[in-house]
Amino acid sequence: MAGADFPALAERMRAVLGAGGVLTERAQLRTYECDGLAHYRVTPALVALPETGDQVAAVVRLCAEAGVPYVARGSGTGLSGGALPVADGVLIVLSRMRRIVGIDIANQRAVVEPGVINLWVTREVAPHDYYYAPDPSSQLVCSIGGNVAENSGGAHCLKYGFTTNHVTGAEVVLPDGEVVHLGGTALDHPGYDLLGTFVGSEGTLGIATEVTLRLVRKPEAVQTMLAGFPSIEDAAAATSDIIGAGIVPAAIEMMDALAIEAAEAAVHCGYPAGAGAVRVIELDGPQAEVDHQFGQVEEVCQTRHAFEVRIAADDAERALMWKGRKSAFAAVGRISPDYFVQDGVIPRTVLPEVLARISDLATTKGLRVANVFHAGDGNLHPLVLFDEDVSGQAEDAEHVAGAILDLCIEYGGSITGEHGVGSDKAKYMGRQFTAADLEAMHLLRCAFDPAGLSNPGKVFPTPRLCGEVPGPRKGAHPLHEAGLAEVF
Ligand SMILES: Cc1cc2nc3c(=O)[nH]c(=O)nc-3n(C[C@H](O)[C@H](O)[C@H](O)COP(=O)(O)OP(=O)(O)OC[C@H]3O[C@@H](n4cnc5c(N)ncnc54)[C@H](O)[C@@H]3O)c2cc1C
């Protein structure tokens, strides 16, 4: 907020967090100026580093009293600019809150602080033969708080569901500083599903300070297959055939030739040479079921012209098959100086058609697109390659990335499968939703955050004021007229 007294606010925060818990030096603040979507950068006015839920509540209360906006940040790996700071606001970084508060194996629950890294949960419970199922490719570094805010997915979400299916409770600091408990340890609660509302709300409804997670028992058997196909069409058709046959693999991931080239250059994963597409398919469950279904899957692949099918003989081979896929985003840096990671969803049956149109879009701008997908979910991750140093290429790449989202909408899909709307896609929300839909969402937001201080400017295309009457807007928005907001 323009005109806020940040030195005074920093002083008040130091009284709560100690001298080391508040950053105000420009060089320190710049460390936090972006998340994984690095071409958007904003330096926050100050950074708060709380260590407990009480401290988070106190910091949020101070922001509310001063009318200062704030943004929560976990590990900063988000790809939609969700943790992008506000220039005249506070960035509340949760990375000092990394305690695993409790594990209850008998009831299959773990209670963790929001800064806990996704993979740590599985590591903690692995000796008991349990794991935490949602596995974003960034799971080595991303935080549970970020996962909750983004309703993150991952390769195994096809069978096991997204983060929302694995969170049963959360302690949340609301934007006025009040602490509430949503859900609990049980799977369902009477009344409105406020926990379901909070999961995926991208930091706009408050800050999670403790999360209760569902743990899943390790399956008796896991088998992983790598299949090389001559074309993306064959690989896509095989995906539909497998699911059409009533088999729900734990994961079906796909990469096209350009993504394979990048992964080979980066991690030498040994994927089949000359493949137009590869798929990593994993089945898990009781041994007898996995054995039976694995044979069926192999048959489908061969019918769809797979020219090489490899079956992982042990954990090391399985890990190598996954390494290529899990490192695909970063690997693209080997073949292009810059790239946009796009995230959209389409019905998986139209995959070949949409990919052909994406390729046409890129060709008209003289650009290349590498494709990596959670194929079973129809979740595309086209990586639009460009070179910032070539005049106009960044703009062209942004245009192609946006046109890909239009395609997703045209085919009945969605502008995001798992990376969230954040700053990046707010302007596309109006293409997927009607004005009435957006007003309804906005009213919900206002019930949690009437002052609009929690992660403002994210998710919604045009900021609205909570007192405004909902309904189709006539004429210009007051904030637009005042030059304070952009209408997309
Ligand atoms: C290489 C790479 C691979 C990726 N693969 C996947 C993938 O397979 N699947 C997938 O879904 N995503 C993936 N991502 C995206 C990203 O890792 C996820 O969105 C992740 O959940 C972000 O977690 P974070 O801790 O980094 O959150 P941040 O980036 O710090 O924040 C993300 C959002 O969460 C909010 N937030 C953070 N903590 C809290 C909190 N405690 N309470 C309320 N709001 C909070 C922030 O305000 C922001 O809006 C990938 C990213 C990279 C870089």
3-state DSSP call for residue 16?
helix
Residue 474 has pLDDT above 60, yes or no: no
pLDDT at 1: 52
pLDDT tens column, 176-186: 999 999 999 98
CA of 347 to the centre of ligand 1 (A): 24
CA of 384 to the centre of ligand 1 (A): 20
pLDDT at 375: 87
pLDDT band at 466 (very low <50, low <70, confident <90, very high): low
Amino acid at 313: A
CA of 78 to the centre of ligand 1 (A): 4
Neighbours of 87 (CB within 10 A): 11
Phi-psi region of 206 (alpha: psi -120 to 50; beta: other; left: phi over 0): left
C-alpha 21/C-alpha 31 separation (Å) is 15
pLDDT at 148: 98
Could you tell me whether strands 100-104 and 109-112 are parallel, antiparallel, or unpaired per DSSP bridges? Answer: antiparallel
- In Å, how far are 110, 119, 124, 129, 151 from 167, measured between CA atoms? 10, 15, 17, 19, 10
Give yes or no for a contact between 199 and 231, defined as CB atoms under 8 angstroms apart.
no
From the list 316, 223, 326, 230, the residue with the least C-alpha distance to 272 is 230
Give yes or no for a contact between 79 and 419, defined as CB atoms under 8 angstroms apart.
yes
Place of tokens 């090391």: 316
Report the first-to-last Cα separation within the chain, whole angstroms.
22
Residue 219 per-residue DSSP state: P
Give yes or no for a contact between 361 and 408, defined as CB atoms under 8 angstroms apart.
no
3-state DSSP call for residue 199?
coil
3-state DSSP call for residue 435?
helix
pLDDT tens column, 349-365: 898 899 999 999 999 99
C-alpha 241/C-alpha 246 separation (Å) is 9
> What are the phi and psi torsion angles at 71 (to 5°)?
-130, 130
CA of 446 to the centre of ligand 1 (A): 23
Pocket around ligand 1 at a 6 A CB cut-off? 35-36, 71-79, 82-83, 94, 114, 136-138, 142-143, 145-147, 149-150, 152-154, 202-203, 207-208, 329-330, 418-419, 455
Rg (CA), the chain: 23
338-351 mean pLDDT? 91
Q: What is the pTM of this model?
A: 0.93
> What are the phi and psi torsion angles at 471 (to 5°)?
125, 165
CA of 308 to the centre of ligand 1 (A): 35
Mutation probe of ligand 1 site: the residue of 142, 179, 209 with most atoms within 8 A of C-beta: 142
Q: Supply the residue whose CA is at minimum distance from atom 16 of ligand 1.
A: 78
CA of 202, closest atom in ligand 1: 49
CA of 408 to the centre of ligand 1 (A): 22
Place of tokens 């096991």: 160
CA of 327 to the centre of ligand 1 (A): 16
Residue 452 per-residue DSSP state: -
pLDDT tens column, 233-247: 999 999 999 999 999
- In Å, how far are 142, 220, 255 from 376, measured between CA atoms? 23, 22, 13
pLDDT at 416: 95
How would you label 119-138 residue by residue, b for 16+ Cβ within 10 Å and e otherwise? bbbbebbeeeebbbbbbbbb
pLDDT tens column, 260-269: 999 999 999 9
Neighbours of 316 (CB within 10 A): 8
Could you tell me whether strands 216-217 and 277-285 are parallel, antiparallel, or unpaired per DSSP bridges? Answer: unpaired
Q: What percent of the chain has pLDDT over 90?
A: 87
C-alpha 385/C-alpha 192 separation (Å) is 44
Q: Supply the residue whose CA is at minimum distance from atom 6 of ligand 1.
A: 136
Q: Supply the residue whose CA is at minimum distance from atom 18 of ligand 1.
A: 78
C-alpha 89/C-alpha 75 separation (Å) is 19
Q: Supply the residue whose CA is at minimum distance from atom 8 of ligand 1.
A: 136
329-343 mean pLDDT? 91
pLDDT at 488: 45
What is the H or E stretch that residue 216 is in? strand 216-217
pLDDT at 39: 83
Neighbours of 274 (CB within 10 A): 11
pLDDT tens column, 103-144: 999 999 999 999 999 999 999 999 999 999 999 989 999 999
pLDDT at 189: 84
From the list 230, 242, 226, 221, the residue with the least C-alpha distance to 324 is 226
